[in-house]
Chains A and B, each alone.
Chain A
Amino acid sequence: MSVEALIEAAGLEAGYDGLPAVAEVSFTLAAGERLALLGPNGGGKTTILRAVLGELRPLAGTLRVAASCGSVPQTERSRLDYPVSALEVAMMGALSRLPWWRRPGRVDRDAARAALARVGLESLADETFGELSGGQRQRVLIARALVQDARVLLMDEPFTGLDHAAADRLEALIAVLAEEGHGIVIATHDLEQARRWDSVLCVNQRQIAVGPPEQTLDRPVLEATYGGAIVEIPGTGGRAILPPHHHHH
């Protein structure tokens, strides 16, 4: 496999107001790779995503981002009461490619329509964003990242609040995008889902482990990542993480 590294972090430390929220992070994201970012609330998942986006400067270590990144935030964060259509949200992606004095034009509108078609939402282009379902909103935000020409998609708990059908649909879309060569980082709480992807990065204020899921997700790593919040599922031998009580945005 010819590996093109999109992101390389070595000994990365990042945080707020000079205080590290997460440290000792070293990983590589290759083109076509789906990386699950696992960790408890407050463990540093969002901090890593913000550092990759350039919002936070590394406090120590190095972080090389060799491709454009598009963020797919949690929908709660995006304002649901905004008077914008799905198409307009997708078109926002063009702003990060255009110089500051340029306004998006017809080319960008066409690109936004095409991106909505790729995520299967062309028929809802003129709907108000806030009135779409949770899964549809996630896909609109992915379309926005595509309009950005982002090679890397940074998704912050995209499955939160989705029903089974919507989650399956989103996961299939993620698989297609990875096949096309996008690198995808997905912060998630779902261990079983993470096992189906290419690699996992476990953090809890510092990096616990990184690597392919089958070799990485053993009991000591999970305990170090989640503390005591894992329970055996009786009779199956499987493990589950106790769901967090609330999300911290």
Chain B
Amino acid sequence: MQRGLVEVLILAVPAGLLGTWIVLRGLAFFAHAVGTAAFPGLVLADGLGFAAPLGAFGAALLFTGGNAALGRGRDRERDSVVALVLVGCLAGGVILASDVFGSGANVETLLFGSLLLVDGGDIALAAVAAAATIFATALAGRRWLAHGFDPGFISSPRQAALLDAALLGLIALTSVAALSVVGALLVSALFVVPAATARLLTRRMRSWQAASVALVAAEGTVGLWLSAKTDAPPGATIACVAGAAFAAVALGQAIARLPRPALVATGTLVALALLVGGCGQPGSGDDGKLAVVATTTQIGDWVREVGGGAVAVDQVLQPNTDPHEYEPRPSDVEAAAGATLVFASGDDLDGWIEQIVSDGGSDATIVDLGAAVPERLPGESSGAEASRYDPHWWHDPRNAEAAVREIGRRLASADPSHRREFERNVSSYLSRLRKLDAGIASCVGSVPAGRRKLVTDHDAFGYFADRYGIDVVGAVIPSQTTQAEPSAKDLSELVGLIEREKVEAVFPESSLSAKVAEAIANQTGAAASYTLYGDTLGPAGSSGATYLGMEAANADSLVRGFTGGRHGCRLRP
């Protein structure tokens, strides 16, 4: 949190200064696009293994150069040129991601930055952008102003091009620095909105620049504070604060032009204060329980089962959020800071937890449950998503049993006074788990082996299939991550496979969009109406709200799919 504040305060300098030029020169679309255009650079950096900001900056510079070359001296056509080059960059990035490197890897997470995960490198990059912007503004500020004010004034075309290139290059650099903070989509919140707000209040360049920098700093600080209070993602909160500030100033100026402005203004202020005050939430107290963080929904379920009333569990992921693309919230950092134990799933599925723990200054022990389970299947052998093991180990109940035992052991050594209770809870849970395991085995076993053919959204069910003798024929997304986009070739191969193997059903995963699976089902005549719980539990009240419920529901869906709806598994979790 403190590092996030430092980062925002440093970034306020280049963002505020450049924001004035962006507003003045009509470069808002360019500033918005240049962050997004960094995408292919991020893919390359991830695929070839060099620093992400370097890749992003390289791509942003290329984007800037493309714009400068195509849009030379034609301010009015700039937006169409920006759009043209942006499409090229995004298309290149998508092709690189899905066809060259075989997966989308974690690139999208880089496009959605987070102030809670700022590291020393991010701060250094912001400081470089700040220094470069201050230097360039001192040196070239008056020439930028004269050139923008009267494009014919700097009559040497070379000097004019150089001035524009320097400005666009600085915007690119600062955008890249801001990527890790607010993400590509919200960069405008730092660049454009505060400067546009400050413009309403100032009449001269110098006061405008000062007001813009101050406003970015203030909105960043307030946004961070507000996000800590309301537990919303900081980037989006800052963007909301910036938007609200603009609306308030514009509204205030409109009111000032009305008759009896003071009265109307007071009324508006009171209404706004009530609105803001109403949003505040009281924090919850800690009543001496053992504080534990669980990263995934299934681990949260186990820790609650084992810990009972003696443990306060903060579960980071919520039902139906994809662990592959997750942005942490302030409460996660806070919970990690106050936690004694952190249970993680491991295998890069929840790698962000280490940074959350270190960022919160926590000395909590991270327990990698994935390392404690007995049954391991190999992961992707190649590509950016290559990992030693398939991370979806919880779909084998024997692994769940080992994980629950480990949780019990760790809780007992952290809080020996409740050892008895923990042990009791573990053994009663394990007996339910074993009963369910046997029930699933016999239910799936009743389907002839030749018909147990599984096609699903992504390769999340290797362990389940391995445990109960199911044949994984193919996956709609041909990788264990949810981030790869299937190509036309992948899909037509899959359709051929489904027809050859006479697969009866395609199973969309409940937390993912079922569109692709449905399209395949339509082409092949296979059913697509049976959904599976893959990466997360279902929301409260659904059949997959607990781990045992999830596995029972999955078994039921699978058997119904295999048998064309004639049989199911009636298991009591």
Contacts and interface: CB of A to CB of B under 8 A. Distances in A.
Interface string B113-154: 000000000000000000000000011001101101111111
Prevailing SS type, chain B contact patch: helix
Contacts of B204: 83-85, 88
Nearest to B151: A77
A92 B152 contact: no
A84 B149 contact: yes
B156 interface: yes
Interface string B300-312: 0000000000000
A53 B155 contact: yes
A12 to B, nearest CB: 17
B157 interface: yes
A248 B507 CA distance: 63
Given A53-B155, A54-B156, A95-B142, A84 B150 contact: no
B69 to A, nearest CB: 15
Nearest to A92: B146
Given A82-B24, A83-B205, A84-B205, A53 B145 contact: no
Contacts of A77: 150-152
B552 to A, nearest CB: 66
A136 to B, nearest CB: 16
Nearest to A103: B142
B405 interface: no
A129 B155 CA distance: 22
Given A77-B150, A77-B152, A84 B142 contact: no
A71 B152 contact: yes
Contacts of B138: 103
Given A71-B153, A101-B139, A82 B146 contact: no
A101 B143 CA distance: 10
A175 interface: no
A108 to B, nearest CB: 10
B202 A83 contact: yes
Nearest to B143: A95
Contact of A55 (B146, B157, B208): B157
A168 B204 CA distance: 31
Nearest to B208: A83
Contact of A79 (B142, B149, B156, B202): B149
B146 A95 contact: yes
Interface string A68-85: 000101000111001111
A73 B150 CA distance: 8
A71 B152 CA distance: 8
Contact of A82 (B143, B149, B152, B153): B149
A128 interface: yes
Contacts of A78: 149-150
B149 A89 contact: yes
B77 to A, nearest CB: 14
B150 A83 contact: no
Contacts of A83: 24, 199, 202-205, 208
A61 interface: no
Given A101-B139, A104-B142, A82 B148 contact: yes
B148 A55 contact: no
Contacts of A82: 24, 145, 148-149
A93 B203 CA distance: 21
A242 B138 CA distance: 49
Contacts of A79: 148-150
A100 B208 CA distance: 24
A50 interface: yes
B153 A92 contact: yes
Contacts of B150: 71, 73, 77-79, 92
B139 A92 contact: no
Contacts of A71: 150, 152-153, 155
B134 to A, nearest CB: 14
A78 B139 CA distance: 23
B156 A92 contact: no
Given A83-B203, A83-B204, A95-B142, A73 B152 contact: yes
B72 to A, nearest CB: 11
A95 B145 CA distance: 11
Contacts of B143: 95, 100
Contacts of A89: 149
A179 B261 CA distance: 54
A143 to B, nearest CB: 13
A92 B149 contact: yes
A158 B142 CA distance: 25
A220 B276 CA distance: 76
Contacts of A54: 155-156
Contacts of A100: 139, 143, 159
A186 B139 CA distance: 34
Contacts of A73: 150, 152
Nearest to A50: B152
A128 B199 CA distance: 14
A54 B139 CA distance: 24
Contacts of B149: 78-79, 82, 84, 89, 92
B142 A92 contact: yes
A128 B146 CA distance: 15
A165 B142 CA distance: 34
A150 to B, nearest CB: 11
A89 B146 CA distance: 8
Nearest to A101: B139
A66 B150 CA distance: 24
A245 B204 CA distance: 35
Residue in B149, B154, B203 whose Cβ sees the most chain A Cβ within 10 Å: B149
Interface of B: 24, 138-139, 142-143, 145-146, 148-157, 159, 199, 202-205, 208
Nearest 8 Cβ contacts at the A-B interface: A92-B146, A53-B155, A54-B155, A55-B155, A78-B150, A82-B149, A83-B204, A83-B205
9 contacts: A53-B155, A54-B155, A71-B150, A77-B152, A78-B150, A95-B146, A96-B154, A101-B139, A103-B142
Given A82-B149, A89-B149, 4 more contacts: A73-B150, A73-B152, A84-B149, A92-B149
